[in-house]
Amino acid sequence: MSQYKYYYNKLLAILESIYPKRETRNIAKLYFEDRFGVIAPEDIVKLKKDIFNSDLLRFQTGEPLQYIVGKAFFYNSFFKVDKSVLIPRPETELLVDEATNSIENKNVKVLDIGTGSGCIALSIAKEKPNTLITAIDVSESALVIASHNKKSLNITNTEFKLMDFLNKGNWTKLEKYDLIVSNPPYIKESEKKLMGDSTLRFEPKIALFPNNTDHLIFYKMIFEFATSHLNPGGNIYCEINEYTTDELKNIIKQYNYNWKFIHDLQGKPRILHLT
């Protein structure tokens, strides 16, 4: 048995005890490609056993691949990630698509609320270099990661600010914007049983669950904020929990917004668009 095959099978055995079998081979393949540059078994000459064995222990705990290798692929770019930020999801790319497609003019001002790794703000900035983007987060450690990603992607049209958006007193520090985007914490405590163990144990709870008894608090605050901070003709795009559409409709009725839900490839309501 080749050296590659031996270590591949060793990792696969651990992954199969944690993940659905259909996912394990892809995770193993991505790991060896990223960590050791192995595209095919014959490419491996000398695997650094100390790194592999250390990673293996982390895999055994259920830690996600992205945290182990320290990066995640999102919207055609790699972003540094660690346990202080949420791992970017493919479904969030729809939010970036919709937001960038709405930008027609130069010097559009954008606000990203709860930026985390900066993946949404920086992806928009990369696609639309003439935009002026402000991205805020309550987590100082998250903004360290976001700033690293800004530098590695050579983005110049984005600034990051440490700010608690739920504190209305901070709104005076913000301007008026043509586009507001957000993938806020929106998971109910009661939905924990539906989530993967890996997500619950390793990803930051502050990015998953609102630090409030009201699971829709961020949407309520965004809607209110926009009444005074969204320029005429502006757009709001928020990623949403597919199970809360009826609740969101009732909240939107309190405001004079035009709105629609945008569905993902699985037909699930994924994005809320307000104008």
DSSP output for 122-191: HHHHHH-TT-EEEEEES-HHHHHHHHHHHHHTT--SEEEEE--TTSGGGGGGS--EEEEEE------GGG
CA distances from 78 to 110, 133, 134, 264, 265 (A): 22, 20, 21, 22, 23
Q: What is the mean pLDDT of residues 102-125?
A: 96
Radius of gyration of the chain (CA): 20
Same domain, 214 and 105: yes
Whether residues 106 and 9 share a domain: the answer is: no
Q: Does residue 87 share a domain with residue 54?
A: no
Burial class from Cβ neighbours inside 10 Å (0-12, 13-18, 19+) for residue 48 reads exposed
State which amino acid sits at residue 100. Answer: T
Residue 127 lies in a domain: yes
Q: Which tokens sit at 265?
A: 């490839």
pTM, two decimals, is: 0.92
Q: What is the per-residue pLDDT for 39?
A: 59
Question: How does pLDDT run across 96-107, given as a tens digit for each residue?
Answer: 999 999 999 889
User: Mean pLDDT, the chain, as a whole number?
Assistant: 90
| Closest alpha carbon to 118 in 76, 90, 160 | 160
With a CB cutoff of 8 Å and minimum separation 6, the contacts of 264 are 91, 94, 270
Under the banding of pLDDT at 50, 70 and 90, the label for residue 42 is low
Phi and psi torsions of 175, nearest 5°: -95, -160
- Residue 240 placed within a domain: yes
Residue 218: closest CA among 192, 176, 187:
187
Q: So what's the pLDDT on residue 33? A: 85
Co-location of 208 and 110 in the same domain: yes
Stronger pLDDT, 61 or 203, i.e. the higher one: 61
- What DSSP designation does 138 have? S
Q: Specify whether the CB–CB gap between 167 and 135 falls below 8 A.
A: no
Rounded CA separation 75/139 (Å) = 23
Q: Are residues 118 and 53 in the same domain?
A: no
Alpha carbon distance 160, 144 (integer Å): 9
pLDDT band at 6 (very low <50, low <70, confident <90, very high): confident
Cα–Cα distance measured from residue 143 to residue 163, given in angstroms and rounded to the nearest whole number: 10
Do 171 and 135 share a structural domain? yes
CA distance 211 to 158: 27
At 67, is the secondary structure helix, strand, or coil?
A: helix
State the total domains in the chain. Answer: 2
Q: Is 70 inside any structural domain?
A: no
User: Is 97 found in the same domain as 56?
Assistant: no
Considering only 106-120, 131-145, 201-215, 242-256, which range has the smallest mean pLDDT?
201-215
Residue 75 domain-assigned (yes or no): no
129 and 229 in a single domain? The answer is: yes
Quick check: 41 pLDDT over 60? no
When pLDDT is cut at 50, 70 and 90, the band that residue 213 belongs to is confident
Shared-domain flag, residues 25 and 132: no
Closest CA to 239 of 273, 210, 267, 209: 273
Q: Let me know whether 129 and 226 are in one domain.
A: yes
Note whether 93 and 54 are same-domain residues. Answer: no
Domain that holds residue 48: 3-62
Residue 67 inside a domain? The answer is no
Give the model's pLDDT for residue 72: 95
Mean pLDDT over residues 155-184, rounded?
97
Same structural domain, 38 and 136? no
Percent with pLDDT over 90 in the chain: 68
